[in-house]
A and B are shown apart, each in its own frame.
Chain A
Amino acid sequence: MSAVLEVTNIKKSFGGITAVDDVSFDVREGEILGLIGPNGCGKSTLFNCILGQLTPSGGEVRLDGKVVTGLRPSELNKLGVSRTFQLLQVFPKLSVRENLILAGQEHQGNMASRLVGRSDAGLTDAANQMIGFFKLDHLAAEPAGGLSYGQQKLLDAAMAFMGGPRLVLLDEPAGGVNPTMLSDLKERLVAINREKNATFVVIEHNMEFVMSLCSRVMVMAEGKVLAMGRPDEVRKNPAVIEAYLGH
C-alpha cells in the first residue's frame, strides 16, 4: 500500500513550549489511522500543521509524494484533504442541504462559473445523496442550528466528504455523541472508507470507538510519537498504558 500522507520531522513550538516535537509518520492508502493521547499532547496542533492552519516550525508534509508544507487550508482542500474540527463547525443559519452544497461548491468549476452558473453549483443531488447516506433526510431543509448536537456532528462529518476527498482528518468525531448515534457514525465512516476508498486519520478519546474503527493507532505524548501499531499491539504497550490508557 502506498502512502497518501507522509509527515516527516514536523515540529511546532509556541514561544518556549514545543507542542509537536519531531513527529514523523505516514498514512497508507485506504486505511483508518487512529491518533490518541492525553489532552494537550499535540494532536490537534499536529492536525493544524498538516492542514496549513498553522505553519510548522520545521519538517515536511507530503501528499501523494508532493510537498504540501505551507499550502493554505483552502489549497489543501482542493487537493483532496478534508477535515472536521474538535468543536462543531456547521453553519447554523443555512439548511442542512445548503451546508452540504457549501461544502462541495468550491470543487465545482472555477470562480467565474460559480458566479454565473447554477445557484446550487449542480450539487443538490449530491447533497441529497449525502443526506440520505447520513440518515438526515427528514432534516434536509431545517436550519443546521436547529439540529441536536449529535445530528450536527453527523452533518459536520458529512460536510467533510462533499468534495470527494482522498484524505479526511477527523478531530474527535465522537465527542458528545450518544451511543446510538455513535454506532451510526462509525457505520457510515466504515462504509465511506470501503466504498469510496477514502483514507482517514481520526483523533479520538473514545477508546472503544478507536480500537474498533482503526486499522492502526498512533499514540502521542508530550508532542512526540510514543507508539504506532495495530490496536491490540498498542493496547498492550507498557509505555502507552503508563502515559495514557492507565491500568
Chain B
Amino acid sequence: MVSVNPITSGISKLYQSCFVKPFVKLSECSPMKAGYGSYRLNNRRIIDGISIASIILKDGVGCYMYVNQSLNNKSIPDDKRKFVAALDLTNGGLMILAQILMHMTISNKLIQSKMFNRILGKKFDRNTSKMIYAILKNTDKYKNVSQRAVNEALNKYKGEVCDAFGSLTSLIAATTVGKRIIVPFIATPLAGIVEKKMNKNTNDNCVDSETKNTYDPSKHCNPKDNKHKNVKAGHSENVSGTSSGNLLNSFKKI
C-alpha cells in the first residue's frame, strides 16, 4: 500500500483543475474545433485570418502597453520620455503592418513553395528521381525498391526541405531584414514627428482646470476693442508657458 502525501496530492489536484483542465477544455470547445477543420483542410482564408488576427491582437496590445508605460515612467528623463514612447508607438504600428505584409508575401506558404520550386525545384525533378532509383536498385538493400516508392520518398523529403527553406527565408527576410532593419529605419524619423505632435498636444492642454481663465471678454465688452484682445493674448501666452515675459510686461506694452 503506497501512502499518498496529502500536500503533493493537493498540489497535483490544484495543478489539474487550475492548469490542465482549462487548456484541455479549450482544446475541445466548438470555436477551436472549427479552427481545426480549417487547418485540416488547409483553408488558407481562415488560416491566414487567424494568423493576422493573432498578430494584430498580440502586437497591438503590446504596443499600447509599452507606450503607456513609457509615457508614465518617471525614471526615463523628461526630455527623452516622449521620444521613447513615440518610438514604441511607431515601431509597434509599423511592426504590425510589416508582419501582415510579410505574412501575405514572403512568409506565405504558397509563395514560399513557388520560390522554392523556382530556386531548388530542379534538384527534385524527374531526372533526379530516375537517377536515385537507378542507383538504389543496384544496391543489395534496395534491389526490390519501386520507382513509385522512390518518388514518394523524394517528395516527402522535398516537403521537409521546403519547410526548412520557408522557415529560413522567414527568419532572414521577415524577422531580420523586415522587422529589424526596415521597421526601425522608418520608425525612428516617424517617432520624431509623433513626439512633436505629442508635445504640441501637451502644450495645448497644459492649463490646469483650476487655474483656467473662464473670463470671456466677448460677453463683457466690444469684440472690436483691440486692447482687450491684446490683454487676452498676453495672458494666454503667459499661461501656456511658452513666453519668457511676465504679466506686468504685457500690460506695459499695452
Instruction: Tell whether A and B belong to one assembly.
Output: no
Partner-B contacts on A (CB < 8 A)? none
